[in-house]
Amino acid sequence: MRPPLPADRFVMELLQLSRESQGYKELLAKFADYLKVKLEVDEAVIKDFQGSAFASSDEVTLNTGKPYIDNGLSGYSAFPELIEYSNRGFKCCAILPIVRGGKQFGTITLLSRDEKGFVPENVNLISVASTVISSEIGSKYEIDKSLNVAKYFDASFNNLMPQLLVGTDGRIVKANKTALNYFDKSQKELSNINLSDIFDIDNVSIERLNRGLVVETFGKSYRNRSFEISPSRVNDSLIHLMINDVSEAKDAEERARMLDRSGDDAFLVTDKDFEVLWASKGTYPLFGIQREMMVGRKFTDFVVVPNTMKDILQKLSANVYSGDVKLDFGNDTYFYGRLAAYREGSEFYCIVSRDYMRYIKSAEELSRSIVKISNDPIIEVDGSGYMLSYNKSAESLFKLDNSRIGTPIYGICADSESQNKIAASLAIAKKNGYIEDVYVSLIESKNRSSIPCVQKIKAVADKNGSAASFIIVNRELLTKKNIEELGEQLQAAQKEAEKLKTESDLKSQFIYNISHDLKTPITNIMGFSKLLLTDNAETLTKEQMDYIQIIYDESERFLELVKQILDVAKLQSGIVKLDTQQVNFNEIRNNPSIKSLAEACENKGLGFVWDVDYDVPEIPADPNRLIQVFSNLIGNAIKFTDRGEIRVRVMKKKGSVRVEVSDTGIGISKADIPKIFKKFYQLRRGLVKQEGSGTGLGLSIAKEVVNLHGGRIGVESEVGKGSTFWFTIPPLARIKKRALKYNRAEHQTP
Ligand code: ADP
């Protein structure tokens, strides 16, 4: 057992995962993996709101907004999916709702085969996780949609290949710098003209591009040059085109020489194993590392974010990868920036640039809209911390109106420590372009209470490359107080559950004692009434004899009831040990109890079939207890069947033995099925008289016995057609585990 994870670290790690994830889908997967490992469960499944309908158990969590935790999955549940989990061998499950702003996003389901279930510490973490994940996934999802489009721009504007963004009809929407240079046109001139204006291209070719196929063509005003156009779909209406001039084969050296002149970016060429073959001059000013030092080392070894760099590069084919990177050069020297990478044959070309915000300038409106719709409060400030603009989310959280523009951000800090921190971080962002993990307390408007936030600050460069303004992204943290509150709530719930459990233990113990004490007097009543009957046959009148007979019969029924109650109590208190032997199901048929049931069938005019499959193995079980189960099921079947037959089938299923007792009787309605295995439960059935009316304990005893064997019991039934009660007995290994648990319980029972 690992020591429990502190909740605050758990939250930090979840937030870190969120920071590292490229998008919504990746985030979902990362959260699921993380929970699986940290909470030591066997399966973590995320259901996406875009997918199919929720299961009924999901809806419960979504309606309450709280995780649903079931530490004792069984074959009986109001939710079919929980029964299914139990059938698949899971012992407990937790369902976490993903809800954001009242919107239902989906659920995370954690499943564990561990019998001990979710311990209180983990329950606490699950609740925390549900809150954090909901908030992170919600915002990621919304940003993701717009970011996808922005990313393509990003790729274009950070890359030295000529690229275009076109509509599905071939109309050019946007061109990158290289394309503008290449075709010697301004953005305005290139926008709103058709591909066919600059390339020798027709509708058929445009259709090919639409379908994602590469098109080779000549340039219109460059008759002598040929191009290869590789498309990739951005969304329903946009296609991103990479224009490759294939007229001359430009080798790596030549391109590198061209790039070497650029001091703003570092340009690296690596081999297929990412070993750096060549690094441009820009390496030094950018990373503070001599270019020669990079050569021969693996580029991917420097990359800490994204941590899947290797996979990403390996998967690159015709497309360009573009995204944020964090490089680690040791000695706490980090570099934050952008990476554009593409593959050329067996080599990789990686361009790293500091100018993260470059694409914002290029695709200004797009980025503005991202800022606008972001759920995170975002504030733009100048170098001295004066606020220039803010998005809706910041506006409402900090109650900022127009009059606050031009005032210092320090006005919404909760303390001077936070003010100093922001001032210092702005200075760092000015120098490095970017800083993250700035923890501060800000003042929320509604209650004027302070809320802890973590900030990311990005410098926005002006034309000369110096920082003109700073974008501050605030992310509200789940406060320590919140976590404590959650913890308290959970503890209270836990206490309540424990109390209930002790109460139910006490009840079982009470019933056990009482029943035990009742047995003696009843036996005496029976003994003496029998004595009266036999010894005083001459002196008593016929009427008196009848009365005594009734006393005797009723006492007998009473004793039977007490014995059954005693049996249930014993089974539940865990003091029953199984007397395990190799059981042969053909032999059980010959047991006197079963034989007399078969006779009872015959007397009632019912057929009786005992059918054991040829491949059913002998299995370790307690034969007397099994016969108890058989007797109850067959007895019930006879009781509730008037014509037709009772059929017992024994078969092998997934290593276990499965027994089915079917009848052609009155059946049980769907609504009643979950009830009948409960103690003292008897169904009211209008016209049908429940002759010899039982105690309502038979099935609950059968259930206890089967469970004690590590098996499961259930029923399928249709009203008017009949019922099939089934149970399973698993092989030895599983019984041992159960028995061990029960033996342990025995030592604890007074
Ligand atoms: P009882 O001692 O009353 O039979 P059980 O626990 O064995 O108690 O069964 C509970 C109830 O389940 C019964 O009262 C009956 O209504 C219903 N039941 C059990 N077996 C069958 C069956 N084969 N067909 C129809 N109803 C059944």
Reported as a single tens digit per residue, the pLDDT across 86-107 is 888 898 888 888 876 566 678 8
Whole-angstrom Cα distance, residue 549 to residue 625?
A: 32
Whole-angstrom Cα distance, residue 619 to residue 581?
A: 8
Q: Ligand 1 pocket, 646 CB below 6 A?
A: no
Query: Secondary structure of 462-479 in the HEC alphabet?
Result: CCCCCEEEEEEEEEECCC
Q: Residue 690: pLDDT band by 50, 70, 90 thresholds?
A: very low
463, exposed or middle or buried, with CB in 10 Å at 0-12, 13-18, 19+?
Answer: exposed
What does the pLDDT average to over 465-489? 66
Residues across the chain: 750
Contact between 460 and 471 (Cβ < 8 Å): yes
Q: Ligand 1 pocket, 663 CB below 6 A?
A: yes
Q: Which residues are registered as beta bridge partners of 389?
A: 380
Ligand 1 centre to CA of 682 (Å) is 6
Q: Which of 353, 301, 349 is nearest to 328 (CA)?
A: 301
Nearest CA to ligand 1 atom 23: 637
Mean pLDDT estimate for the chain: 77
Q: Which of 456, 429, 455 is nearest to 442 (CA)?
A: 455
311, exposed or middle or buried, with CB in 10 Å at 0-12, 13-18, 19+?
Answer: exposed
Among 35-44, 188-197, 573-582, the range of highest mean pLDDT: 35-44
- Best residue among 662, 676, 691, 717 to mutate for probing ligand 1's pocket (most ligand atoms within 8 Å of CB) is 676
Cβ neighbours for 51, distance < 8 A, ≥ 6 positions apart: 106
Nearest CA to ligand 1 atom 8: 696
Whether a cis peptide bond, with omega within 30° of 0, leads into 306 is: yes
What strand order describes the sheet that includes 303-305?
Answer: 276-279, 265-270, 347-353, 334-344, 321-328, 303-305
| Ligand 1 atom index nearest CA of 695 | 2
Reported as a single tens digit per residue, the pLDDT across 201-249 is 888 889 888 888 888 887 776 555 778 888 877 667 778 888 877 665 4
Q: Residue 362: pLDDT band by 50, 70, 90 thresholds?
A: very low
Ligand 1 centre to CA of 569 (Å) is 20
What does the pLDDT average to over 110-128? 81
- For 136, other C-beta atoms within 10 Å of its C-beta total 23
More reliable by pLDDT, 130 or 313: 313
Query: Residue 687 has what pLDDT?
Result: 41
State whether the Cα torsion 314-318-324-329 is positive or negative: positive
Helix, strand, coil proportions of the chain in percent (round to 5)?
A: 45, 25, 30
Antiparallel, parallel or unpaired: β 434-443 and 387-390: unpaired
Q: Which of 149, 169, 50, 48 is nearest to 108 (CA)?
A: 48
Antiparallel, parallel or unpaired: β 226-233 and 238-245: antiparallel
- Best residue among 699, 700, 704, 715 to mutate for probing ligand 1's pocket (most ligand atoms within 8 Å of CB) is 699
Q: Ligand 1 pocket, 699 CB below 6 A?
A: yes
| Ligand 1 atom index nearest CA of 663 | 23
Q: Ligand 1 pocket, 635 CB below 6 A?
A: no
Q: Ligand 1 pocket, 633 CB below 6 A?
A: no
| Ligand 1 atom index nearest CA of 699 | 6
Ligand 1 centre to CA of 619 (Å) is 28
pLDDT at 612 over 90: yes
Query: Which amino acid is it at 419?
Result: Q
More reliable by pLDDT, 79 or 296: 296
Reported as a single tens digit per residue, the pLDDT across 324-341 is 888 888 777 778 888 888
Ligand 1 centre to CA of 743 (Å) is 31
Whole-angstrom Cα distance, residue 382 to residue 466?
A: 12
Query: Residue 748 has what pLDDT?
Result: 36
| Ligand 1 atom index nearest CA of 632 | 7
Reported as a single tens digit per residue, the pLDDT across 531-566 is 888 877 778 888 888 888 888 888 888 888 778 777
Reported as a single tens digit per residue, the pLDDT across 51-64 is 455 677 777 777 77
Q: Residue 74: pLDDT band by 50, 70, 90 thresholds?
A: confident
More reliable by pLDDT, 345 or 139: 345
Query: Residue 104 has what pLDDT?
Result: 67
What does the pLDDT average to over 664-687? 77
What pTM does this model have? 0.37
What does the pLDDT average to over 358-370? 45
pLDDT at 187 over 60: yes
Q: Which of 588, 741, 711, 722 is nearest to 667 (CA)?
A: 722
What does the pLDDT average to over 620-641? 92
Q: Which residues are registered as beta bridge partners of 742?
A: none
Q: Ligand 1 pocket, 631 CB below 6 A?
A: no
Nearest CA to ligand 1 atom 14: 682
Tokens of 307: 């941590």
Query: Residue 249 has what pLDDT?
Result: 42
Reported as a single tens digit per residue, the pLDDT across 411-452 is 888 888 888 888 888 888 888 777 888 888 888 766 677 777
> 247-261: string of b/e by CB count within 10 Å (b at 16+)?
eeeeeeeeebeebee
Q: Ligand 1 pocket, 632 CB below 6 A?
A: yes
Ligand 1 centre to CA of 696 (Å) is 7
Q: Ligand 1 pocket, 469 CB below 6 A?
A: no
What does the pLDDT average to over 620-630? 91
Ligand 1 centre to CA of 693 (Å) is 9
More reliable by pLDDT, 608 or 452: 608
Contact between 96 and 126 (Cβ < 8 Å): yes
| Ligand 1 atom index nearest CA of 700 | 6
Q: Ligand 1 pocket, 231 CB below 6 A?
A: no
Reported as a single tens digit per residue, the pLDDT across 568-580 is 777 776 667 788 8
